[in-house]
Amino acid sequence: MNKFFLSIAVLLITSAGNTSCQVKETATTDSYVSTAIEAPVQPENDSLPKQVGYVNDFENIYTDEQETTLSGIIASFKKIHQ
């Protein structure tokens, strides 16, 4: 069970690092003011498959049972915290 939660933690940490946004800032006399948030632009020839559902294991690291369990945990979390 401890390995399972460690796997989830690693998954969440690595996923968080891939979702960056850029904030454009304009200079004023004393400080910077945020003007817009831009989502990262994906190239047109993106070689990654389309995402389906909550868990997308393109490297086949997890078993089907583990993917189903992770999806269930995420769905339960989203249902509770909406």
| Distances from the Cα of 2 to the Cα of 7, 8, 10, 48, angstroms | 9, 10, 12, 30
The residue-averaged pLDDT of 18-47 equals 60
| Distances from the Cα of 62 to the Cα of 4, 31, 69, 75, 77, angstroms | 11, 47, 10, 18, 20
The pTM (predicted TM-score) of the whole model is 0.42
Tell me whether residue 59 is in a domain.
Answer: yes
What percentage of the chain has pLDDT greater than the value 70?
50
Tell me whether residue 36 is in a domain.
Answer: no
Rounded mean pLDDT of the chain? Answer: 75
Q: How confident is the model at residue 32 (pLDDT cuts 50, 70, 90)?
A: low
Tell me whether residue 18 is in a domain.
Answer: no
**Confidence at residue 74, expressed as pLDDT on a 0 to 100 scale:** 94
Q: How confident is the model at residue 58 (pLDDT cuts 50, 70, 90)?
A: confident
Tell me whether residue 82 is in a domain.
Answer: yes
Tell me whether residue 16 is in a domain.
Answer: no
Tell me whether residue 64 is in a domain.
Answer: yes
Both tokens of residue 74? 């995420």
Q: Which residues form the domain of 81?
A: 55-82
**Confidence at residue 76, expressed as pLDDT on a 0 to 100 scale:** 94
pLDDT 10s digits, 10-24: 666 766 555 445 555
Both tokens of residue 33? 């003011």
Tell me whether residue 42 is in a domain.
Answer: no
Tell me whether residue 8 is in a domain.
Answer: no
Structural domain count, the chain:
1
